[in-house]
């Protein structure tokens, strides 16, 4: 079966709906009335979809309209997507009548743009589909988040997937790079990357997150001399901007400071590691309906 794009944009969905209508109508001409757009515009939309999918979807010309094998597979996938959407709508309709009270969402870090965008879309969908729910968002240390989920004091969390513990379930959502940085007032700021190595870095105090992190991150930290501790990225940034330390920051948080030359990346091709983010819930939560709704919404946002 043909694979749809991993991340469907609104424009992708529009193109897929145009293609579905063309197939349902049996060709471009018949679809003009249904779509209320001209044949030339329909042709452009289909061509754009073919470029997006890197597939030839249909034959059109004097011999009439017909689907290619790939086009039939994509049409079948669209049908399955429509069925999944209908099932989801039915599920929500059955849930929202009984959903009320708080839905608690926790995070462990300062929100960068990726996580901020995901949570804001989740909250918007929850408010629309279950307006009786009262959303509560908070930031806690990793261990407190795990305990809150296990004790049913929170419903879900967006947190780094550094470890997995019994009783919780984890769904990886995305990964962003974390780079080694220093401030403009740090001695390494003007030193060329070609002159920097593990021995040079070990001479300068570095910021340690103070918690266990993923294996790639641990390997990077082992090269450094721990001289300060800060888990939260905003407090880590304050230490970096003091000019006394080197340390790791996610790209999205570091970017504006890199652009203004308050920070620099140190040999970014070598000194970096992935910052993996997961949605975490209790395996058998007390308020299962709330958790199920939130996870269904998240699944639709991550398509």
**8-state DSSP, 209:** -
**pLDDT at residue 1 in the model:** 46
**pLDDT at residue 65 in the model:** 87
Residues 6+ apart with CB under 8 A from 76: 1
Contact 136, 102 (CB under 8 A): yes
Beta strands in the chain (DSSP E): 58-59, 66-67, 101-107, 133-139, 156-160, 168-183, 205-208, 225-229, 247-250, 263-265, 272-282
Angle between helix 10-25 and 28-35 (nearest 10) = 120
Q: Quote the CA–CA distance of 160 and 92 in Å, as a whole number.
A: 29
β-partners of residue 180 are 248
Q: Quote the CA–CA distance of 177 and 85 in Å, as a whole number.
A: 33
Do β-strands 58-59 and 168-183 pair in parallel, antiparallel, or remain unpaired?
Answer: unpaired
Nearest to 53 by CA among 75, 84, 26: 75
Q: Give the mean pLDDT per block of 10 residues along the chain (303 residues).
A: 60 89 88 87 91 89 85 90 72 62 89 84 93 92 89 92 86 90 97 96 94 87 94 92 96 94 97 92 90 91 77
Nearest to 278 by CA among 180, 146, 179, 183: 146
**8-state DSSP, 4:** P
Q: Quote the CA–CA distance of 295 and 289 in Å, as a whole number.
A: 10
Tokens 């996938």 map to which residue?
77
Q: Is the pTM of this model over 0.75?
A: no
């Amino acid at each position: 079966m043909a694979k749809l794009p991993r991340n469907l944009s609104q424009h992708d969905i529009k193109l897929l709906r145009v293609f579905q209508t063309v197939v349902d109508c049996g060709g471009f001409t018949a679809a003009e009335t249904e779509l209320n757009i001209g044949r030339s515009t329909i042709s452009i939309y289909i061509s754009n979809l073919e470029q997006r999918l890197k597939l030839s979807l249909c034959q059109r010309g004097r011999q009439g309209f017909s689907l290619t094998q790939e086009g039939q597979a994509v049409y079948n996938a669209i049908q399955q997507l429509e069925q999944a959407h209908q099932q989801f709508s039915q599920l929500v309709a059955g849930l929202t009548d009984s959903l009320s009270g708080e839905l608690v969402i926790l995070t462990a870090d300062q929100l960068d743009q990726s996580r901020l965008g995901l949570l804001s879309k989740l909250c918007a969908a929850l408010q629309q589909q279950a307006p009786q729910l009262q959303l509560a968002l908070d930031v806690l240390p990793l261990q407190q988040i795990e305990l809150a989920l296990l004790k049913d004091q929170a419903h879900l969390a967006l947190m780094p997937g550094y470890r997995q513990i019994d009783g919780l379930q984890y769904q990886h959502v995305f990964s962003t790079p974390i780079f080694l940085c220093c401030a403009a007032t740090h001695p390494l700021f003007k030193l060329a990357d070609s002159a920097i190595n593990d021995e040079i870095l070990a001479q300068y105090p570095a910021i340690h997150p103070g918690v266990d992190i993923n294996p790639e991150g641990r390997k990077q930290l082992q090269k450094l001399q721990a001289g300060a501790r800060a888990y939260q990225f905003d407090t880590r940034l304050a230490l970096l901007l003091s000019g006394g330390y080197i340390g790791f920051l996610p790209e999205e948080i570091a970017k504006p400071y890199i652009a203004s030359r308050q920070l620099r990346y140190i040999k970014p091709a070598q000194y970096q590691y992935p910052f993996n983010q997961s949605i975490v819930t209790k395996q058998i939560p007390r308020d299962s309906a709330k958790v199920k709704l939130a996870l269904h919404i998240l699944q639709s946002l991550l398509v």
